[in-house]
Each structure stands twice: as structure tokens, then as C-alpha cells.
Chains A and B, each alone.
Chain A
Amino acid sequence: MTQISIPDFALVVLIGATGSGKSSFARKHFRETEIVSSDQCRALVSDDETDLAATADAFDLLTYTAGLRLKRRMLTVIDATSVKREDRAKLVALARKYHALPVALVLDIDPKLCHERNATRPNRDFGEHVPRNHSRALRRGLRSLQKEGFRQVQVMKSPDQVDALQITREPLWTDKRTDHGPFDIIGDIHGCFDELTELLTRLGYAIDPFDPAAEDLITAAHPQGRRVIFVGDITDRGPQNVNALRLVMGMVAQGSAQCVIGNHDFKLNKWLKGKSVTLNHGLDLTAAELEKTSDAFRKTVQDFTWDLRSHLWLADGTLVVAHAGLKADMHGRGSGTVRNFAMFGETTGEVDEFGLPVRLEWARDYRGAADVVYGHTPMAEAEWLNNTFCIDTGCVFGGKLTALRWPERETVAVTPARQYAEPAKPLDHGQNLSAQQDHDRLLYFDDYATKMRIETRFKSTIQIPEENSLAALEVMSRFAVDPRWLIYLPPTMAACPTAPDGPFLEHPAQAIAHYADRGVTDLVAEEKHMGSRALLVVARDAGTAQTRFGVEDGKTGVIYTRTGRPFFKDETQEAQIIDRVSTAMAKADLWSGLQTDWVLLDAELMPWSAKAQVLLQKQYRPTVAAAQASAAAVLEAINRAPHLAELEPLKTLSQQQAVNAQAMGRTIDGYCWDAPSIDDYHIAPFHILATEGQVHTDKSHTWHMETIENLAQADPILKPTGWRRFDSGNPDDIAAITNWWLTHTAAGGEGLVIKPTVFLVRGERGLIQPAMKVRGRDYLRIIYGPDYDMPANIERLRKRGLGRKFSLAEREFKLGFEGLHRFVERLPLSKVHACALAVLALESEPSDPRL
């Protein structure tokens, strides 16, 4: 019995003549779905698996299918004869494209036996020469398989050997997904041994006593079992290269550290092997030190640097450590390209004015979910950019030696005693903006112009069809505020279930029952203001706004509508209101109380006429005027014909229409007033959505209301919202709420919003509607027309498609708050923007705008 082990991610190429038993061998060792067979592909494209004329197309299908599997990091087995070198070359190229290791399993079976087997099978009546030619071709190529690029070759020379082979699978060397840390990832050392020991001590590692002049390995461990990952470049340029090697090798041997290969480690290995290398870039110093050490030590270093991995793929694939970084499609894969990228980064061959290779900024385009921590390029500050973190802060050049605690994402750094080497170019100093903010000045259209899938933290992934994404992108680019300000778009709010009978279309009873049915009885009712929805992003001052939001417009805040458009055309008016709110936040001690420099308020801004002027002039007012004129005209004519008793029904109808039109006009008038100065505006915030480090969905609505009451006392343009908490199990409470709703709406109020007191309630099936509006009888005339509640009309209107609206409200709620959480967690703007776009995209779905 022969046992071999292959990587669990590989392209396995079976090589053997027709009839050599490849297919049954494949079925024995691999899952059916892992096998891509040329016969099957031939059948798929031509209906005949022996149709040789279809071979070229079948091979295209085979490579396409195998390519897709490899792209998804699935082990793939090619069941084709693959006896010709040119066929194998294409497969090796395919494996390299996806950074999979090519493995050759050769079935070198006597062609006579192959022919006998073929004879017993249908559709295989080839001549004897066919397996013979195959076999001849196979044997010609046998020796050079390694050279062709196969990393592993296993030859079976008889059916017995074929039967005896056992295959096990092993993770790739780089695959450490089961290792979850916690880790302390340390940047390029370059022989800065003293700084390394100081950093390890600061990180809490105990370094075992050692003799600085000896050459035995130095060990160190963390009492809580944390482990170090070195990003490579242990030596060169610095003062104590041998000691640095002793410590790194010692910790790795002891299991308290891992290390990936850096370009300097690679070159050191070449030198140790006696290959010709130029002794420059500090290798001269390392070489001089090593020449004084024993052969045994040098051999240890040689073996150690030879065994270093290209990268480490850790913690279920959520963390990647590589010396020069690694693109998402290379994580956990193996190829020369991956190794080169991991050591040198992506270069174009160009050099810059300092003679250094021009690096393509792969991190700018990185959109992967895994954190990538790397070194190699000395930076003034270690910073996150699109989930990548460059930890090389140029210690040897007088910068600092930095460690990243992961998963905590905290950095610890020590500064060197002095500058040990002169950098070829000055370390990159950032500007006012962080690297991430600098990058986020531009979002990329092609990141969004596709079907979007957004994973939310509310246990659901929301899909946005491409056409909706495109529609949202158009609106966003034509009308929206700067995306750096647009950290949140609010969800639509569901209307309450329809009242089954009576004069009302909506009534608190149905909203209360909706929640009671879902076990929620602790509710709040809040006055619903009739104005326009406004989101206010307000910072303490313009400087804070620039630091936190990365904006460059000098503003302290913005006010935008529910679709992300600037609320005010006049920027000075906006600035004045922002300034007032910012001052109010200070007066109310909320900046300090909430430990923040900025706040996002969800508010209603009144009067309605401030924003809806066009709508009022073109739609609402003419409707009222026409309805009034129409009713008046017919009533006047009817009065002139008192003799016609048959006109009584028309008279009654017209009288009611006159009353309705008047009620609608009166209701509209209540929402309109001239607002020449900002003191004429009323701003009624109803959610304090987020502040630094916090999304306030963990607080009850009573907290929101009370905090806002406190804020509103600081400035008269801020209005508190009437609210009551109630228990829907208590009939007195329900009566009180119903009464409040009746009086409030009879006086012209829009209605009430009923919400669970707790912000976020999870029901048996997803989230429970976070809020539900119950609108007043007269207000609804603005929605359904003046005569909506006439008996003949209201019965037809009771049928409303609420299910869709509920689902939309739930999805938009999740997306909105997912985006806000991402912003608060300082994720890249591209991830925040995706959520805002998705809300806008959902809004382009057809749904009844009246709900």
C-alpha cells in the first residue's frame, strides 16, 4: 500500500492512456463533483463523448469549468488522457492562474491491457494503436513532469499499484485557518534587536535570559499564550542582525511565534547557499556578522529562511499576514506568483526618482473581507486602508517598531535609540487626512454597478438587483450630498394595518394589536410631525468635521433629505442651523455627556412648505381649489332647481365634497407658514442615531425622547416631540392613547407613531417593525385625496398592500443601521456608501407611496 498526501487545494491532473482506468481511479478517490472529465465535456458539447471533432470545444469547456472551480478555491481533478505535453501545459497554466498547486497522478499501464479493457466497453472500439500511441507519448514526457511545473508527481506502473494507492489531503502550508490567535504582529525588524526586545516586553512577553554574544537561540513567551507573527525582513541595515535571528528563530522553534518570508530573508538565504548576490542594502552588515558565527549557526539560519512561508492565512480566513501584502484572490493559495507578490508586492518594473521600484497600490483596490497585515514599505504611521494594515514604520530608519494586537486592532510601538540607516526616500508623511480618508476621497463606480449583496449584522444578507443599483447610482451622482457626509439613509416607515371598518382608514388599535400579536406590549407613542424628513450631521466644529469625516468643504455639518439630497439650496442657511444645533449640543452638555465630537440626528423639519413649495403649488393647492369650485358650482345650480327632488343625492354628495375640500385645505394650511429666517423653522429630532463609537439603537426610545427634550431646551428652533410610554395590556393606557390620537389629529396633527419602547426587537421571523405610523383622518386627505373617506371610496381603499411595505421597511432599516455601524467602526467609506446606495436602490422598487 502506498500512501501519498496532496494539498486540499490543488489541480490534480490524471495522466494515462485511454483504458488505463483513470475514471474509476478518479471516482474512487475524489467526489464526483470534483472531477472534470473530457469525455463528459465532449458529450455536453456534441451529444457524443467519442466525437473527436468536438475535442477543441470540449477542452474549452473543461478548462472553463475547472477555472471556475479553482477560482472558488475548490480542489479539481482533470480526467483526460493528458498524455501530450502541450495539453498539460495548458492545465499547468490554468493552475498557476488561480494559484493552485498542479499535481500529476500518472497511470502508466501496459497499452495491451488498456486495449483489452476498451474492448469490453461500448463506444471504445478504438484500434490497438490508440492506447499504444498514448502510452508512448506518456512515457516520453514522464521525466520532465516536474520541469513542466507539476509540484508533485506520483507514477503508478501497474493496476496493482493503482489499486494500492491511498490519497490523503492536507491543508496548504499557509493555511492556518484553525489558528485564531490572539496574535501580536510585528513589523520589519532589520536587525533592531534592542527595540524588538523592548517591544516584546511592552507586549507582555517574558524573554528568557540570554548571552548577547553567544549564538544559541533566544526564547520568549507570553504568559497568556499570545503569539507573535513576524512579517519578515529580520536582518540587514540594523546593528544586531544575528541576535535578531536568534530571537526570531528561537520563538518560532518554541512555538511562541510564526514568521513569513521577507525579501531580505530570501536574499539572505541565497547568500547562505553560496549563490551570487550583491552585498548591498544592508546585507553586507548581516553577512559580516554571520561570517563570525559557526557553520552550524549559519546552517540553522539557512534552513530557517528556506522554510519560511509566503504568507499565513489565519482565523477562518479573516486574517492574512504577508511581508508585502497580498491580494484577495491569492489568500490561502500557493504559486510562484503568490510568493513573489508576498515578498515584493506588485511592481511594474518602473523605478521612481529615488531608484526604488514603483509599487502598484494594491491596497487601494483591496475589497476583501480579510484583514491583511503587512510590512515592507516604510510608512510614517501605521494605518488601516480598506482592511489592510501596513505595519512597517521604518524602525531602522529612525521611525519606530510597531506591533498590531489582533483581533483587538490596537497598535503598540517603540522608537529606536537612533537612526541606523538612511532611507532612500523620506518616509511618507500623511496630510491632514488619514490614509483611509485620503483614499475615500474617491469612491469607485465599478464597485457598485452590479448586483449588490450586503451582509448585515442583523442576521440577514440583503440583495439589490443590478438595475436598482444603477438607478440609485444615477440619483446619487446627480443629486446627493458628498458621500463622506452621507453616512446613513433612513428607512421607510410602515403604515399600520388598515382599520377593518368604521370611518377611519388608520387607527391606533391596529398598530397596538400588531405589536401585541408579536408579544410586544411595552410601547411608546410619539407625535408625528408634518414637515420634511431631515438628517442632520453635526460636528462640534469644522476641524472636528474634517478629522472625523475626512471632508474638505470646511463645513461643520450638513442637513440632507431622506434621499440624500441637500435639504437647503442655500448653504448659508444650512450652516446657520448647523451652528445653532452644534451650540445647543454644547449648552445641553451633550458633547461631553455622549463623549463625542459629532452627532447624527434624525428629525422632521417644518414647515412643510419650506421643502414642498413646488408640490404645494402644482398639486395640492390646485386640487383643493378645483374640488371646492367644482362642488360650489354644482350646488349653486342645484339650488336654482328646487323643483327637482331627484337631485337630492347629488346635493348631499356635493355638500360633503365641499366640506372635504375645505378640511383638506385647512389641514394643508396648518403645515405651511412663511419662513424667511431660520428662527421660523422648527426642527423636531426624534432619534439620536449615532455619536462617536456608538449607534444608539441599544437605547430605548424613552432615552432618545428624554435626551432630545434636554437638547431642545437649549434652542427654540429645536422642538421636543410629544410622547407617552404605555402598556398595551392596560385598557386605560389604550383609551388615553386613542384619545390623544383623536384630539391631536382633530387639531390638524398628522398622527402618532407607535413603537416598541426598545429600539430593536427580534421576533420569531426577523425584526419586528421598529415603528408604525397611525395617521389622522384629515391628514389622509393629503394622501388619498379629499373624498377618500366617503363610504363608497373608503371600503375600496381598505385593501392595501402592506406586506411589501413591511418587508421594505425592515430591509431598509437593517441596511441603514448596518451602514451606520460601519461608519462608527471606521470601516472604509466604500462599505458605508454601499449601504446608503442600497437603501436608495430599494426605494426605487415599486411600492405604494401612500403607505
Chain B
Amino acid sequence: MQIELTLTAQAGADYSARDLGYLLHKHPDHVHVRDVAAGQLTIFYPEISDDSTTAVVHLNVDPVALVRGKNDHSDGLLSQYVNDRPYVASTFLSVSLTRALGQSMSGKSKERQDLADRELPYRARILPIALAGELDLARLLFEPLGYQVEIHAVDDSARVVDLVISGTTRLSALLNHLYVLIPVLDNAKHYFIDKEEIDKLLAKGEGWLATHPARDLITRRALKHRRALMNMALARLDESLATDDLDEDEPRPEPEEHLETPIRLHDLRLDAVEQVLKSHHTASVLDLGCGEGKLMRRLIKDGTFTRIVGVDPSVRTLEKANRRLYLNQASDAMAQRVTLQMGSLTYGDRRWKGFDAATLVEVIEHIEPHRLSALALSVFGDAKPGLVVMTTPNREYNALFDGMEDGQLRHPDHRFEWTRAKFQGWADAVAAQYDYTVTYAPLGPVDDTHGGPSQMATFTRGAA
């Protein structure tokens, strides 16, 4: 991939476009080849004249080293050979710029400092870029900085693009803009980032990033979506921003929670489930599909729950729950009262017998429909808790969410979302088969036509 940098000089200008060579500290008549970490950087000038001079900065990435590492003792940065990384403008190119054009980036020129300090008409073409987003993203990033933007896709998928920006600016400003914004367009970073990355970002963004309208997006992407780092950076850009939100373990909201946030649905759901458990005087609760332990955290605070067991199929999720519930540092009494175990609802589990209640909060919709009979057999036919509380989204309500397409589900892992009739039909059949009685309630603000955003079924064993 490469950047083509062009300096033009109109007739009668008091400088020559050939001066680009001085500004880049690279003689226009030579080919400059240099080994960099990612591969080989070549700088040459295909066009040299007083009116217009173009320098090409081409990076040829070593694709094998990317996967295998530079020697037998190190692993590579990528796990896949089939990867656009060796061919698109990315952090590899940004980093190479600082190696090869460091002086120019800091605004220095031995021979032409006056030109380095002046705003001149430049044009930069970056080709190809793997664009992470819509074509408009480039405009959003470069136009506020005073550039004209031309962009077009070079493949059908519109993921690989050819970008040209032009404007009157200082060379160092242009290079720093490219250094920061190429990786933002690409939205991937090849190296591990830490707090030092903030310093780099702020140094290269000096004078323009703080006031850039897409500041948040740039910061977020530049810092690889690490919220804590991003917040620190934003705080330093803007003293008014709060800095207390540094907990890396802060649970990430699930995708459906974005949609549902305005009505705080998840809290309502947990309130309702907790209420049902209390009103049935249950002491031992099996939280099936406990996730990171949001319901458990509530139940723990209430002494009437003497045994709380959370079950989840994912080891990683359980590790998070373990941290968030502080079970790793729990007292013996707490450790006996609250436990986590790995388990799956499509299997039976002998450890699930003898509980007063089981909860399945927003769980069934993550299970393939053809496996729901196994879930019913496992929970109602085998574990047989006295009470089962189950919640699931009400599909009818999706019509009221902003920005949801027709047929779209609230979470990418949802295998289905049921209407009230569908859910009740299934639950009635399960209750009948396994000798439970079931009642239903909507969760959240009820719409006359579409019902509540979520729905709850309460199954009681035997009681007719």
C-alpha cells in the first residue's frame, strides 16, 4: 500500500514544487529504500517539476512474518495468512511514517524551514484502505480539518477504497492527520496498546483533535475501544469530563440493552423476578443462564435466599461473574451460600435437584428452537424445582424500538424472539406435560397493541 504526496505550486508562486524533496528530507532523484519493522519502505518520486512534485511512500509488508513472527521464538501478530493487512493502509503504514519521515512530521526542514512553517497546497492519495464503515466516514474525519475528500471503492464490497484528500496546510499537519486518521479509517491496530498510546495520540493530535467534531469516534477507535483508556484520553482533551469511570470490569451492556435502555428494562425484569421469588418464599435458587451474575447480585443481598447457584455454559462468563460477585475473595459462609457452576440447559444435571426455584432470565431465546424440548425435559422433567420463573423478549414490541429493521432480533445470538401467543403456547404445553401451573405477566411499560417489551412466565409445580 502507499501514500502519494503531491505538492503543487501555481505559476508565479514564490517556491518550487521540487522543494517537496527538502521538506521530506529525501532527494527527488533517488530511490530511498529502508527496512522497517513491518517490511520494506520505498520512497521515490514519479513526478518532479516546479509545478507539481509527487512522492510515493510505498510499504511492502512481509506477510509470513506477520503470522509467524520474525524468528522461531516469537509468534506473529496475526493468526491468518489470508488477510488484507499486508496490502492496506493501516497502523503499519502510520508507524513507518514516523520512522521514515519523523523530522517532517515534527515540522522541521533543514533547508526550507520557511516552507515547512507555511500552509501550501498538498494532495495525498492513500491506496488502498480497508474502510471500516461507510464512505462518508472519510468526509467526517477529514473535512472538518479543511480537506477536500474524494473517495471511491475499488471492489464490489465497498470495503477496499482509494482515498484522496487535498487542502492547503502545513506538511507536518497533513502527516500527523494521516498518522492518526488512517488507523481510524481502518479501525484495527496491530500492536498492543496501553496508556502510552494516549500520549502518542495527544502529541500527534495537538492543536486539532480537541476541537474535532468526531473527537469521540477518533479517540475510541485510536484506543482500540478500550473504554478506560478512551475516557482518560477524552478527560485530558477536555478537563470537564469525569475520570472516575475507570473500572475495566464494568460489564459491557448487551446489544439488546442499548435498544431497551430508555425504559431500564433489565432492571425492571430483575425486580419482577426477584419479587416472584420472594412472594413464593423460596430459599434456594438456581439461576440458569446467570451470565455475569446480575440477578445473583440482587439475591445475595437478601438473607432469605440461603442457597444461590448460578449456572452458565461459558467459562469466560463465569470467570467474570466470579469477579463481579467477589466470590474469589468470599468468606466460607458466602462461598457455601453462593456458588457458580458450568452447565448447559440442553443437558440434564444431577446437581440441579432439590431447588425451591429456578430462574431463566432472557435465556431461552439463546437456545436453538429444536433444543428447547431438551431444556424443558431437563428443567421441568428432571431438576423439577418447585418454581420456575422465565422471561423472554416479546417480539411484538420490537415494532416500537427505534432503528430496528423488520425481522431483526434484539441480540445477534438470539435464535428467536417470540410473540406473546407463541411463548404462552409453548409454556402451556410444557406446563401440561410436566405437571406445572403457569401464569404470565408483561414486563415493562405495556403498549395496548404490542404488550410489554418483555414477558414473564411463572411455573408452579403441581399446584392446580
Residues of chain A at the chain B interface (Cβ within 8 Å): 365, 441-446, 448-449, 467, 470-471, 473-474, 476-479, 481-482, 552-553, 566, 617, 619-623, 625-630, 633-634, 637-641, 644, 646-647, 650, 653, 782-785, 787-788, 792-793, 796-797, 849-850
1/0 contact string of B339-352 vs chain A (CB within 8 Å)? 00011111111110
**What are 26 sample pairs from A and B whose C-beta atoms fall under 8 A apart?**
A441-B373, A441-B377, A443-B348, A444-B349, A448-B347, A449-B343, A473-B344, A473-B347, A474-B315, A482-B370, A482-B371, A566-B368, A622-B155, A623-B84, A626-B84, A626-B130, A633-B128, A637-B4, A637-B46, A640-B47, A647-B31, A783-B81, A784-B81, A787-B86, A788-B64, A793-B64
Do A474 and B83 have beta carbons less than 8 Å apart? no
Name which of A444, A553, A634 has the most chain B CB atoms within 10 A of its CB: A634
Do B130 and A552 have beta carbons less than 8 Å apart? no
Cβ-Cβ contact count across A and B, 8 Å cutoff: 166
Contacts A644-B31, A797-B64; A621 near B382 (Cβ below 8 A): no
Do B128 and A625 have beta carbons less than 8 Å apart? yes
Interface stretch of the complex, out of B157-165, B275-283, B290-298 = B157-165
Do B56 and A785 have beta carbons less than 8 Å apart? no
**Shortest Cβ distance from B382 into A: residue:** A442
Known: A365-B350, A445-B343, A482-B371. 19 other contacts (CB 8 A): A441-B374, A442-B348, A444-B348, A445-B347, A470-B342, A623-B83, A623-B87, A625-B157, A627-B84, A637-B44, A637-B56, A640-B47, A646-B31, A650-B58, A785-B63, A785-B86, A788-B64, A796-B68, A797-B64
User: Is B400 at the interface (CB under 8 A from chain A)?
Assistant: no
Contacts A477-B346, A647-B31; A785 near B82 (Cβ below 8 A): yes
User: Is B313 at the interface (CB under 8 A from chain A)?
Assistant: yes
B: number of interface residues (CB 8 Å): 60
Do B314 and A474 have beta carbons less than 8 Å apart? yes
User: Is B45 at the interface (CB under 8 A from chain A)?
Assistant: yes
Contacts A441-B377, A442-B377; A650 near B60 (Cβ below 8 A): yes
Contacts A444-B350, A621-B157, A626-B88; A478 near B313 (Cβ below 8 A): yes
Residues of A within 8 A of B378 (CB): 442
A445 vs B346: C-alpha distance when bound (angstroms): 9
Q: How far is the CB of A613 from chain B (nearest CB, A)?
A: 12
Do B31 and A446 have beta carbons less than 8 Å apart? no
Contacts A478-B313, A629-B162, A793-B63; A442 near B88 (Cβ below 8 A): no
Chain B contact residues, majority secondary structure:
mixed
Per a CB cutoff under 8 Å, which of A449, A476, A553, A627 touches B370? A553
Residues of B within 8 A of A622 (CB): 84, 130, 155, 157, 159-160
Do B2 and A634 have beta carbons less than 8 Å apart? yes
Do A446 and B88 have beta carbons less than 8 Å apart? no
Do A446 and B46 have beta carbons less than 8 Å apart? no
User: Is B1 at the interface (CB under 8 A from chain A)?
Assistant: yes
Do B349 and A446 have beta carbons less than 8 Å apart? yes
Do B88 and A634 have beta carbons less than 8 Å apart? no
Residues of chain B at the chain A interface (Cβ within 8 Å): 1-2, 4, 30-31, 33, 42, 44-47, 56, 58, 60, 62-64, 68, 79-84, 86-88, 127-128, 130, 154-157, 159-160, 162, 313-315, 342-351, 366, 368, 370-371, 373-374, 377-378, 381-382
Contacts A622-B130, A796-B68; A630 near B42 (Cβ below 8 A): no
Do B56 and A653 have beta carbons less than 8 Å apart? no
Per a CB cutoff under 8 Å, which of B58, B62, B79 touches A637? B58
Residues of A within 8 A of B344 (CB): 445, 473-474, 476-477
Per a CB cutoff under 8 Å, which of A623, A634, A644 touches B58? A634
Residues of A within 8 A of B33 (CB): 646
The 5 closest A-B pairs by CB, nearest first: A625-B155, A477-B344, A640-B46, A785-B81, A626-B87
Contacts A449-B342, A625-B157; A785 near B314 (Cβ below 8 A): no
Residues of B within 8 A of A566 (CB): 368
Per a CB cutoff under 8 Å, which of B127, B159, B313 touches A474? B313
Q: How far is the CB of B381 from chain A (nearest CB, A)?
A: 7
Residues of A within 8 A of B58 (CB): 634, 637, 650
Q: How far is the CB of A571 from chain B (nearest CB, A)?
A: 8
Contacts A621-B157, A625-B155; A638 near B46 (Cβ below 8 A): yes
**Shortest Cβ distance from A653 into B: residue:** B60
Do A443 and B46 have beta carbons less than 8 Å apart? no
**Shortest Cβ distance from B129 into A: residue:** A626
A745 vs B20: C-alpha distance when bound (angstroms): 50
Q: How far is the CB of A639 from chain B (nearest CB, A)?
A: 8
Q: How far is the CB of B131 from chain A (nearest CB, A)?
A: 10
A641 vs B4: C-alpha distance when bound (angstroms): 13
**Shortest Cβ distance from B127 into A: residue:** A633
Q: How far is the CB of B175 from chain A (nearest CB, A)?
A: 19
Do A782 and B82 have beta carbons less than 8 Å apart? yes
Name which of A477, A640, A650, A787 has the most chain B CB atoms within 10 A of its CB: A477
A441 vs B434: C-alpha distance when bound (angstroms): 15
A646 vs B30: C-alpha distance when bound (angstroms): 8
Contacts A622-B155, A625-B155; A477 near B160 (Cβ below 8 A): no
Residues of B within 8 A of A796 (CB): 64, 68
Contacts A442-B381, A637-B58; A473 near B68 (Cβ below 8 A): no
A620 vs B159: C-alpha distance when bound (angstroms): 12
Do B128 and A626 have beta carbons less than 8 Å apart? yes
Contacts A442-B377, A442-B378; A625 near B313 (Cβ below 8 A): no
Residues of B within 8 A of A787 (CB): 63, 86
Per a CB cutoff under 8 Å, which of A444, A471, A634, A792 touches B315? A471
Q: How far is the CB of B341 from chain A (nearest CB, A)?
A: 9
Name which of B4, B64, B157 has the most chain A CB atoms within 10 A of its CB: B64
Residues of B within 8 A of A646 (CB): 30-31, 33
Do B154 and A477 have beta carbons less than 8 Å apart? no
Per a CB cutoff under 8 Å, which of A448, A482, A619, A628 touches B83? A619
Residues of B within 8 A of A471 (CB): 315
**Shortest Cβ distance from A643 into B: residue:** B29
A29 vs B56: C-alpha distance when bound (angstroms): 92
Contacts A443-B348, A622-B155, A785-B86; A641 near B44 (Cβ below 8 A): yes
Do B374 and A850 have beta carbons less than 8 Å apart? no
Residues of B within 8 A of A619 (CB): 80, 82-84
Residues of A within 8 A of B159 (CB): 622, 625
Residues of A within 8 A of B350 (CB): 365, 444, 446
Residues of B within 8 A of A793 (CB): 63-64
Residues of B within 8 A of A792 (CB): 62, 64
Q: How far is the CB of B58 from chain A (nearest CB, A)?
A: 5
Do A629 and B44 have beta carbons less than 8 Å apart? no
Residues of A within 8 A of B342 (CB): 449, 470, 473-474
A793 vs B44: C-alpha distance when bound (angstroms): 25
Q: How far is the CB of A57 from chain B (nearest CB, A)?
A: 19
Contacts A445-B344, A629-B154, A646-B31; A641 near B82 (Cβ below 8 A): no
Residues of A within 8 A of B4 (CB): 637
A515 vs B454: C-alpha distance when bound (angstroms): 62
Q: How far is the CB of A570 from chain B (nearest CB, A)?
A: 13
A640 vs B371: C-alpha distance when bound (angstroms): 63
**Shortest Cβ distance from B47 into A: residue:** A640
